[in-house]
Amino acid sequence: MTNPTVRIRTGLRSDLPRALELIRELAVFEKAEHEVTNTIERMELDGFGPQPAYEFFVAERGGHVIGLALYYWRYSTWKGKRLYLEDIIVTESERRGGVGKQLFETVMARALEENSTGMMWQVLDWNEPAIAFYQKYHARLDGAWINCHLDRPQIEERLGSVQ
């Protein structure tokens, strides 16, 4: 279902305050609000600085941003260039209206435009609505991989602080 009153467009620097609000809303939904340490300033540098680390699309209705899809490019030694979808976020009052579908399909089209070999993302194992959504696209849900990460304090503990 495509909602004609919703417009999908490339995210702009001026969208960052609303983007961070949506990110915090997602963190509350995922019961991890305390994990959000990102700032508008960091997002501005990382997305609009000399070496952008991410890109994003926004969904807007009546000039108000109601959703976003943030992605970046990665490289797979097995597959080549891949699009990594970090998050699709639709504000709670707008969910189930097709906005997520519009964002997802816009990201899929971006992957094709850039001649990538595909796209990937993660979904929490308890997020049944999201899992059902992705299954409609015949997405391969792989439970064999374990996610790993180090945050800056752990890296600094091991290697020391970089000046």
Q: How confident is the model over 26-46, as pLDDT tens digits?
A: 999 999 999 999 999 999 999
Q: What per-residue confidence (pLDDT) applies to 29?
A: 92
How far apart, in Å, are the Cα atoms of 59 and each of 38, 66, 132, 148, 149? 21, 6, 21, 31, 30
Q: Which whole number is the average pLDDT over 75-96?
A: 96
What is the pLDDT, as a whole number, of residue 143? 84
Cβ–Cβ < 8 Å for 65, 58: yes
Fold (topology level) of 6-159: Aminopeptidase (3.40.630)
**Residue 61 backbone dihedrals phi, psi, to 5 degrees:** -130, 125
- For residue 52, the model assigns a pLDDT of 97
pLDDT by residue (tens digit) across 4-15?
799 999 999 999
| Dist. CA 90–CA 93, nearest whole Å | 8
- Tell me: pLDDT of 1 over 70: no
pLDDT score, position 151 = 85
> How close are the terminal C-alpha atoms of the chain, in Å?
51
Q: Is 134 a catalytic residue?
A: yes
Active-site position among 54, 72, 84, 134:
134
Cα(85)–Cα(14) distance, integer angstroms: 21
- What's the whole-number average pLDDT of the chain? 94
| pLDDT 10s digits, 114-154 | 999 999 999 988 999 999 999 999 999 988 888 888 888 88
Cβ proximity of 89 and 11 under 8 Å: no
Strands ordered across the beta sheet of 64-76 = 6-10, 55-61, 64-76, 80-90, 119-120
